Chain A
Amino acid sequence: MRQLVILGAGTAGTMMANLLVRKLDSKEWALTIVDEHSTHYYQPGFLFIPFGSYDEGDVSKPKTDFIPKGVKHVSEGIDLIAPADNEVILKNGDKLAYDILIVATGSKTAPGETEGMLGDGWRRDIFDFYTIEGAVALRERLKDWKGGKLVVHLNEMPIKCPVAPLEFTLLVEAFCTKKGVRDETEISYVSPLSEPFTKHNTAVVLGNMLDRKRIAFVPDFQCESIDAENKKLISYDEREVEYDLLVTIPTNMGDSCIERSGLGDDLNFIPTDKHTLQSKAHDNIFVIGDATDLPSSKAGSVAHFQADVLTENIQHFVAGEPLDPGFDGHANCFIESGHNKAFLIDFNYDVEPLEGAFPVPLLGPFKLLKETWLNHLGKLAFRFIYWNLLLRGLPMPGISTKMTMAGKKTAR
């Protein structure tokens, strides 16, 4: 029996287990998935928890619900990957030999990377919403928010879901308006980037929106430390931003097992071929989702498009055929903008988000780079699609793996 091992049963790993169990011959291949955590979180839903529109139950299900029959589930931590021996060493000392390894260990917040972030101010007036604990704690803090300086802070790129910080900013603006404390609340968005978003034309659209909603944008702010006692952010070029409530997106890093294995870059992300998803260092190691160092978004939609390409490439690899350089960096993201409206953007490595209709040219029903109510409904419907289609590796009607120019307006 040959062994295929998947590390991580998050979005990417779970999809791969579901897709590969149908494609690989079960008489020849044994599939194993390793993850020490028991709960699968619908992470895009964390955004809504601080405002009380979703609760913990809406975003969590047992991981075992999504691991298919025919795939062995090992519930244990990963100590390290030993590529020279083709084995994974688990925290309990067990060893798992592999012929093919798929690394889907994701990325996580690392608040300890910024001096002063963890400490007395943490979850008192410094909050994150990229973890379930952070999102729930922030909900409790926002309940009695009466106004003051509210700062949304992006610490360092890359992060997972690059649109979420802006979405949070727009949603908290709507929240304050609804609560009747908007005039008492000064909202600012602090970022190490020069523009509010990584893609220029989207940054222009969203930047105008920040202006209209009286949200100050503080660009090029590379945070050196947080003075939790005096409640201010301090940059390397000695600028300061004061806050009463700081909602931060801490540095994101790959799993610590990648660092222990010596397989990652400075942020523990694994150097990966941007089109085939094969690791650059080892032919029989493939990488998917947030664990890669690819210049694509770290997002579930991206992992979904990668999963189709990787499923093909695992079969090519097994058959000794050349790999398909099929991944084009495709991402597709709803951007919640408050007051029951949302934007939708669709882009890849080479094409920036354009206006148009999606997924059906002219008809949509979703409008690209425009703020509509239907886009908002799409975002809400996505949770159902995630649990029922996406994780199980079932096709999503009308959505293609490669980005298409059909329906997009190119003359701008």
Chain B
Amino acid sequence: MPSATIAGVTVDVNEEGYMTDPGQWTRAIGEAIAAEIGIAPMTEGHWRVVDFLRADFAEKGQVPTIRRIKNAGGIPTKELYALFPDGPVKKASKIAGLLKPASCI
């Protein structure tokens, strides 16, 4: 499995640069990934999404959908798109140290 050094820490990642062990994640790592994919600075609104993603993942074992981020996380979809343009769940889960959401089939 490939690894990468993010914010001075060596972490496991997959081929697309998504972290594979959420336990290795820190906020500093999240901030560094965000800067790398063009989300800077991380505002309170961004962290609210990232924190929800991590909490929901810990509970459910999967990255929440846009619908769930709206219903359970209380974050309107319009706002989600404004915070993370072009594929908000993909970007936010990368920053949150979670795997890219599996496309449903």
Contact = CB atoms under 8 A, between A and B. Distances in A.
What size tier do the contact residues of chain B reach? 10 to 19
Contacts of A124: none
Nearest to A297: B105
Contact of A157 (B71, B72, B77, B104): B104
A10 B82 CA distance: 42
Interface string B49-86: 00000000000000001111001100001101100011
A222 B77 contact: yes
Contact of B104 (A194, A224, A266, A295): A295
Interface in A242-296: 265-267, 295-296
What size tier do the contact residues of chain A reach? 20 to 34
Interface string A288-320: 000000011100000000000000000000000
Q: Looking at chain A's contact residues, is the secondary structure mostly helix, strand, loop, or mixed? A: loop
A371 B81 CA distance: 38
B81 A222 contact: yes
A156 B86 contact: no
B8 interface: no
Contact of A237 (B67, B85, B103): B85
Contact of B71 (A220, A222, A266): A266
B17 to A, nearest CB: 16
Interface string A208-233: 00000000000010101000000000
A162 interface: yes
* Centre residue among B78, B80, B86, B103 by max chain A CB count within 10 A: B103
Given A222-B81, A237-B81, A295-B104, 17 more contacts: A156-B67, A157-B103, A157-B104, A158-B104, A198-B104, A198-B105, A199-B105, A224-B77, A236-B77, A236-B78, A265-B68, A266-B68, A266-B72, A267-B67, A295-B102, A296-B105, A331-B105
Interface of A: 156-158, 162, 193-194, 198-199, 220, 222, 224, 236-237, 265-267, 295-297, 331
16 contacts: A156-B67, A158-B105, A193-B103, A198-B103, A198-B105, A220-B87, A222-B66, A222-B77, A222-B81, A237-B85, A266-B67, A266-B68, A267-B67, A295-B104, A295-B105, A331-B105
Interface of B: 65-68, 71-72, 77-78, 80-81, 85-87, 102-105
Pick the 8 closest A-B CB pairs, nearest first: A158-B104, A157-B104, A236-B81, A198-B105, A198-B103, A266-B68, A237-B81, A266-B67
